[in-house]
Amino acid sequence: QVQLVESGGGSVQAGGSLRLSCAASGVTYRRNCMGWFRQGPGKEREGVAAIYTGGDSARYADSVKGRFTISQDNAHNTLYLQMNNLKPEDTAMYYCAAEGICGGNWWWRSDLYKYWGQGTQVTVSS
């Protein structure tokens, strides 16, 4: 049974930091395309960061470049998203996703990710 369990969300003030974690089980963690997506109030789900777990290839949405960093711990099948200099517009539910397609424009195709976590809420106040 596949499980993606996110944690680390919370409420912070603008300029603060949070680190999200996604513990993966039941998936082939290595050589997997995994990503973080978010959905803010009244907004569509959007890709934030994605990584190919078989190497170091990563992609970031323009809105988070230089502030967010995606990383992984292969030994523990865990994906991370370090979020620095948070802004109110980063407020959203953040989801971990697995078994997407890494390459070209496919990184941000949420419909191509096979597995999803339940999400963790991030709220940034001004």
**Are 20 and 94 within 8 A, CB to CB?**
yes
Average pLDDT, the chain: 94
Quick one: which of 22, 19, 17, 44 has its CA closest to 34? 22
pLDDT tier at 68, thresholds 50, 70, 90 = very high
Q: Is 37 left (phi over 0), alpha (psi -120 to 50) or beta?
A: beta
Q: What is the pLDDT of residue 106?
A: 87
**pLDDT tens, 87-100?**
999 999 999 999 99
Which tokens sit at 71?
């990383």
pLDDT (mean) for 56-63: 91
Per-residue pLDDT band for 28 (boundaries 50, 70, 90) equals confident
